[in-house]
Structure formats: C-alpha cells, structure tokens
C-alpha cells in the first residue's frame, strides 16, 4: 500500500516539501484586535504566504525590517501574497510594541506569536539558547509547498524590495511552469525557456534579455 502523499511530504521545512500546519495567536494592527489563524487557511483561499520571522519586539533592527516590508504590503497583497511576521513574543507584546514604536505605524499585516518556539524550530530558525528566532523569510505557494527561503543572523537586516522581486518571479513561473527566471530578473524582463536549442547559447539570451 502506498503511503499517504501528505504524510510523505510533510516534514521539517525543506524546499519543495509541504509545510506543517500550525495554529497561532496574532495581533492584527489593522483592526487593533487579537485573532486566531493557521497556515493552511491561506492555501485554502489560494494565496501565497510569506512567513517573516524576526528575533524580538522592542529591539533595534526588527522595527526597520517590519517597516520595510510594511511599505510593500499592499503591492504584495495585490499579487495574491499574504504576509505574517512571527516572533517568540506574546500577542500582548506585539500590541504594546505597535503602540510605542512609530516605525510600525503603517504595519498592517498579522503579527503572530510563537512563544514556545515550535514554529521557528520547524523552520530551522529557532535559537534555543536565546529563546528567539533568527531573521528567516519563507515563501509558501498556494499548495502549502515551501519554494523560497532566506535566513540572516541577528545583526543584518533583510531587503523587502528583493523579496518583492523574488515573489514576482515565483508568481510568474507558477503560471508559466515551462519557463524560468534568470539572475536579477525583474518584472517585464525576458525569461528562459529551457530546451536543446538554448544549451550553450544562454549568452545570446542574456545580452538581449531587457531589449
């Protein structure tokens, strides 16, 4: 008898594999309320999901990162992408931080609480000694498959503009599975169509990719 496909593919987060569903508490800055959510509800609604781990509320690099991605949140949502930030802080800490930190005044995505570190541990970014998460970004497609990951150490912040560029590429190739986006691809650039005719001739494409 064959194994159930979901059981085979659900495991500690690895590229190309289905993530585990988690339920979690959140603070929603846009409605100033506490809510309960789960990862799979986004796949059920056909959305892409960006899971954005950061170390802690009331710190220094973290509010700059959340403000940075918050500036692109509307653009991401228009692409069918939802964003959830996660730290090991409580939902009450999230609320208090949003009220106190002016950089967060335009943050409107859900801020999830992972007080046990279980979610961060699944994604491989939990620092057990510190009790916090590293700066991990995980891109989940509408089938709950992990397709993109980036992890930074504590003292280097991420670039949300690059995240948006990668999301545009992932959304494009999801709709055009026989094509591929080359290095530094931007929306509107030419794409690669792998075939025997392209073998050894990528330079010709590269020269003309933005013409």
Q: Which residues are catalytic?
A: 62
Instruction: Let me know: does 133 contact 127? Beta carbons within 8 Å.
Output: yes
CA dist 50 and 102 (Å) reads: 23
- The answer to whether the Cα torsion of 80, 83, 151, 23 is positive or negative is negative
Q: Which of 51, 58, 66 is nearest to 112 (CA)?
A: 51
Contacts of 184 (CB under 8 A, 6+ apart): none
Instruction: Let me know: does 136 contact 117? Beta carbons within 8 Å.
Output: no
């Amino acid at each position: 008898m064959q194994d159930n496909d979901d059981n085979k593919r659900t495991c500690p987060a690895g590229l190309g594999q289905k993530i585990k569903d988690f339920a979690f508490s959140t603070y929603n800055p846009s409605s100033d309320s506490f809510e309960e959510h789960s990862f799979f509800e986004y796949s059920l609604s056909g959305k892409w999901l960006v899971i954005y781990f950061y170390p802690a509320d009331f710190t220094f690099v973290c509010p700059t990162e959340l403000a940075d991605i918050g500036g692109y949140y509307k653009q991401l949502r228009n692409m069918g992408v939802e964003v959830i930030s996660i730290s090991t802080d409580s939902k009450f800490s999230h609320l208090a931080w949003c009220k106190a930190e002016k950089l967060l005044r335009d943050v409107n995505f859900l801020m999830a609480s992972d007080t046990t570190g279980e979610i961060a541990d699944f994604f491989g970014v939990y620092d057990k000694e510190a009790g916090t998460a590293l700066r991990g970004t995980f891109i989940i497609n509408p089938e709950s498959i992990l397709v993109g990951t980036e992890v930074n150490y504590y003292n280097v912040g991420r670039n949300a503009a690059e995240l948006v560029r990668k999301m545009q590429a992932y959304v494009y190739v999801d709709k055009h599975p026989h094509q591929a986006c080359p290095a530094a691809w931007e929306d509107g650039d030419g794409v690669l169509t792998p075939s025997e005719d392209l073998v050894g001739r990528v330079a010709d494409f590269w020269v003309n990719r933005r013409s």
